[in-house]
Chain A
Amino acid sequence: MALDRWIALIILIICAAYGYTAFFTMDGGLPPFMQRNPIWPSTFPKVIAALAIIASVIILFRLEKGTGEEKAPEINYRRLTDYKLGQALFLLGLMVAYALLLRPAGFLLSTSVFLLAGFYTLGERKYHVMIPVALIATVGIWYLVQEVLGIFLSPWPSFMLGGA
């Protein structure tokens, strides 16, 4: 089974769960005065759940016929390991780490480490270029966001702020 049909199956399951919630469990907690309304919070979700299930079934069983010609895919997922999969996964992991560390480690430290690790992963080895670039970009963006745009970004690790 091709990937697009697997995806259709997964979406079908999600939509079925969504539809189940909309049809059977959501209305339980509805206050009596709202039950007299012609529209409930679940009305619109019921409609889209039904339509989405129809659409995913069409894809799953290939009911819509294409012109038959296969387009060459941008990335052939069957040969994913031929690509730089490791780099991609590592950078995604780095983004997750950044998300988790942004608050505790502060903006300046986490951002400069993120950028440096990113450059390094992609094969950059010119330390005399990448370190200044990362530091200047980090401080510059922090200044822009914090001072010019006025959005608070905690710059330092949380332990240095004295628990504030």
Chain B
Amino acid sequence: MLEGILLGLSSAFSVTNLLMVVGGCLIGTFIGMLPGLGPMSIIAIMIPVAITLGDPSAALILLAGVYYGAIFGGSTSSILINAPGVASTVATSFDGYPLTRQGKAGKALTVAAIASFSGGTIGAVLLMVFAPMLASVALLFHSAEYFALMVVGLSAIAAFAGTGQVAKAMLMTLLGLVMATVGEGALFNQPRFTMGILDLQSGFGFITLAMAMFALPEAIFLILDPARSKTGTSGEIKDLRITREEAKSIAPVIGRQSVQGFLIGVLPGAGATIASFLGYAVERNIASKEEQEQFGKGSVKGLAAPEAANNAACTGSFVPLLTLGIPGSGTTAILLGALIALNVTPGPRLMVDAPEIFWAVIISMYIGNVVLLILNLPLIPYIAKVLTVPRTYLIPFILFFTLMGAYIGQNNSTELLILVGFGICATVLRFADYPLAPLLIGFILGRMLEDNFARSMQLYDGIGFILERPMTLGLLLLAVVLVVLPAYRARRARLRAEGVADGD
């Protein structure tokens, strides 16, 4: 391993490669901040640039830098304007945006930067040590387990909802799944539920839906209630420091979530989105009662957990890509395409045939994380200047960016009408206190969930796979427990409130 590290160091510390890291992180951060442009679209856009470089290590380093930058930039817009451009930063907005509204945007960005840095660095260490081992673990998972794992992920979202909200969160998740079935599925070449509308043939666009669920209702709320945009910050980000107690409270969270996020990231199909939501749910459940109250209202723990987890998971998603040649997520799938265009075939032989590429990428992950940290901490006050823009200017621009995001993705103006329509629906749902994040997660996972379900059904010729594979059964039982537990706990709490004695 040592000669590998040395090889990587010599390759990564060349002037061009260092420039690639810095440039990639910068481009990623700034474009990632714009709502609607997630890592996937940015990397796709950067591929022609990377390919013209000609050197596979430099290209992969550039794209990896863009990837981290975009994830960090996405967190920034989640925190500052509640417009997550990327699914994996949706969980960041749960506690990041309330902090901004309390005038603690600087602190929120600092916590996010530190958590991202730690998550990414710990992830890179784990990648280096465990890449070969973890690859064999991922091989044990079949489509049946992936199906079950996604069901667990979706049920865990019910845990966000809190007491009395489980059914609403469930309904929203299911509605997301329903929306994911619209259009042509991968397994069946048959359009479904399109109601004869040609534009629905390819299904709803993820970016359109994300805009409609988050950015647009937020903008409408800002219009309806002018007092909302008075966040208490005049854009002056003074409070960058975090206190010793806060640092102490988030350190274990970051440690746990970096490891957990990395492990989830390794599993193909799981990735940063599930890692961030699961990380949030886990930290929320193991936090003390008083701290649990804070979640969703601006808890630093609730912010650090998804940030550490999603960065660690990004690193983790490189494991199946580099060791098996299987992309675990949309982003790594695009990276795979770029590598093949550069005449490199990732897979088990990569470490043997082209060790300099493998190690250069790993070393560049460390450099990328350091660059992001030193780049972003001093830049935070400037980034947060977004807040000083008066609302008369800010709101039309937010509306315009939601429109642009939806349009660029599909190049289709019907998409814009769908955006406005869903935006209005989402606003009404928010009036009635329905959680919107589960809908989007259900939508993102819906297609993968169905594909894996279909594959296991075909392999086992029916529903029998649930009983034949103990791991699947175990995961599905866990999912049931996750859904039932909050209802049971609420019932006990109510009984206790009514003065009925209970067991413990």
The answer to whether A39 touches B458 (Cβ under 8 A) is yes
Could you tell me the distance between the alpha carbons of A48 and B442 in the complex, rounded to whole angstroms?
Answer: 11
Is A37 in contact with chain B by the CB < 8 A criterion? yes
- Residue in contact with A38 in the complex, picked from B167, B224, B413, B461, CB distance below 8 Å: B461
A91, B399: Cβ atoms closer than 8 Å: yes
Given A44-B181, A45-B181, A55-B167 in contact, is the A115-B400 Cβ separation under 8 Å? yes
Chain B residues with CB under 8 A of A38? 457-458, 460-462
Contact assessment for B454 and A44 in the assembled complex, using a CB-CB cutoff below 8 Å: yes
A48 to B178, CA, bound (A): 7
In Å, the complex CA distance between A73 and B428 comes to 12
CB distance from A102 to the nearest CB of B (A): 5
**B221 interface neighbour in A2, A75, A151, Cβ under 8 Å:** A75
A136 interfacial by beta-carbon distance below 8 Å: no
**Chain A interface bracket (under 10, 10 to 19, 20 to 34, 35 or more):** 35 or more
Least CB separation from A93: chain B residue: B420
**Complex partner residue of A55 from B171, B404, B413, B491, CB under 8 angstroms:** B171
- A4 to B45 alpha-carbon distance, docked (Å): 42
- Which B residues touch A34, using CB under 8 A? 188
Write out the residue numbers on chain A whose beta carbons fall within 8 Å of the beta carbon of B414: 99
Roughly how many angstroms separate A85 CA and B226 CA in the complex, as a whole number?
11
Is B129 in the interface zone, CB < 8 Å from A?
no
Asked if B164 CB lies within 8 Å of chain A CBs, one says yes
Collect the chain B residues with CB atoms within 8 Å of residue A84's CB. 223-226
Chain A contacts with B in 66-112, Cβ cutoff 8 A: 66-68, 71, 73-75, 77, 80, 83-85, 87-88, 91-92, 94-96, 98-100, 102-103, 111
Q: How far apart are the CA atoms of A56 and B168 in the complex, in Å?
A: 8
Q: Using A3-B431, A41-B192, A55-B174 as known contacts, say yes or no to A67 and B220 having CB atoms under 8 A apart.
A: no
In the assembled complex, B469 has its CB within 8 A of some CB on chain A: no
Do the beta carbons of A118 and B396 come within 8 Å of each other?
A: yes
Residue of B nearest to A4 (CB): B432
A115: chain B residues within 8 A (beta carbon) = 396-397, 400
- Given known A-B contacts A38-B458, A65-B164, A114-B400, A122 and B171 have beta carbons under 8 A apart: no
Known A-B contacts A44-B450, A83-B224, A133-B393; the reply to A141 vs B416 at CB < 8 A is no
Contacts of A21 in B (CB 8 A): 193
Which B residues touch A56, using CB under 8 A? 171
Q: Does A145 contact B (CB under 8 A)?
A: yes
Q: Bound complex: CA of A91 vs CA of B220, how far in Å?
A: 9
Q: Which residues of B contact A55 (CB under 8 A)?
A: 167, 170-171, 174
User: B480 on the interface (CB 8 Å rule)?
Assistant: no
User: Would B454 and A75 count as touching, CB distance under 8 A?
Assistant: no
Does A13 belong to the interface (CB within 8 Å)?
Answer: no
Tell me whether A163 is interfacial, beta carbon within 8 Å: no
Contact of A3 among B397, B420, B432 (CB under 8 A): B432
For B419, list chain A residues within 8 Å (CB).
95, 99
Instruction: Answer yes or no: B166 CB below 8 A from chain A CBs.
Output: yes
Q: Which residues of A contact B393 (CB under 8 A)?
A: 119, 124, 130, 133
Contact assessment for A44 and B220 in the assembled complex, using a CB-CB cutoff below 8 Å: no
Bound complex: CA A161 to CA B483 (Å): 58
| Chain A: minimal CB distance from B243 (Å) | 29
Q: Tell me the complex Cα distance, A103–B415, Å.
A: 13
Q: Which of A41, A77, A124 contacts B185 (CB 8 A)?
A: A41
Chain A contacts for B408, CB-based, 8 A = 145, 149, 151
**Residue B494 contacts which of A68, A95, A111 (CB distance < 8 angstroms)?**
A68
B343 at the interface (CB under 8 A from A): no
**Residues of B with C-beta under 8 A to A75:** 221, 224-225, 430-431
A141-164 to B contact mask, C-beta < 8 Å, 1/0: 100010001111000000000000
Whether B175 and A4, one on each chain, are in contact in the complex, defined by CB atoms closer than 8 angstroms, is no
A-facing residues in B408-446 (Cβ within 8 Å) = 408, 411, 413-414, 416-417, 419-420, 423-424, 428-434
CB-based nearest B residue for A15: B178
Complex A-B: 17 CB contacts under 8 Å:
A2-B432, A3-B432, A8-B171, A39-B187, A42-B192, A45-B193, A51-B174, A52-B178, A64-B490, A75-B225, A83-B225, A91-B396, A92-B420, A99-B414, A118-B395, A119-B393, A145-B408
With A15-B178, A92-B423 given, can you name 18 additional A-B contacts, CB distance below 8 Å? Answer: A2-B432, A3-B432, A4-B434, A38-B458, A38-B461, A63-B167, A64-B164, A66-B165, A67-B163, A67-B497, A83-B225, A84-B223, A85-B224, A96-B417, A99-B419, A122-B223, A123-B392, A151-B411
